[in-house]
Amino acid sequence: MSRAETTRIAWRRLHARHDYVGTLATTDTGLRLDGREPSTGIELSLSIPFSEIEEISASNGSPALAGESAVVLELAGSEPVLVREVGPGLQATGQLVRTLSRLRRNAERRRGL
């Protein structure tokens, strides 16, 4: 599993109380979210195969992540995940949606879907 891109992000499941700050790594087969909840220090990792992502869209402020618009990863049979970039060199939410959507389409083509 080779890492193609790594981005600084904040993320959480749609109805979770805590946000995690860490990284989003893209690979040939999916996404890996690593993060730490700042107030408790809890660390969490989540790997999402592209085949489990049904839709990638912008939240346009609702739902929000840390008060900002986020990318919504709609997952097959699971609660959505919200993601947004943090730190210098931020991509607009729409650009992150386009980037992740392109990576997902490329993975589907390689799998022959």
| Chain segment 60-91, per-residue pLDDT in tens | 778 888 788 899 999 999 999 999 988 766 56
- Rounded to an integer, the average pLDDT of 92-107 is 88
Amino acid symbol at 109? R
Residue 6 vs residues 15, 49, 56, 67: alpha-carbon distances, Å? 25, 16, 18, 23
CATH number at residue 22: 2.30.29.30
Structural domains counted in the chain: 1
| Chain segment 11-27, per-residue pLDDT in tens | 999 999 899 999 999 88
Domain that holds residue 86: 3-111
Q: Note the pLDDT of residue 4.
A: 57
Q: Note the pLDDT of residue 86.
A: 87
Q: Note the pLDDT of residue 65.
A: 85
- Rounded to an integer, the average pLDDT of 28-56 is 95
What is the chain's mean pLDDT, rounded? Answer: 87
Cis peptide before 63 (omega within 30 of 0): yes
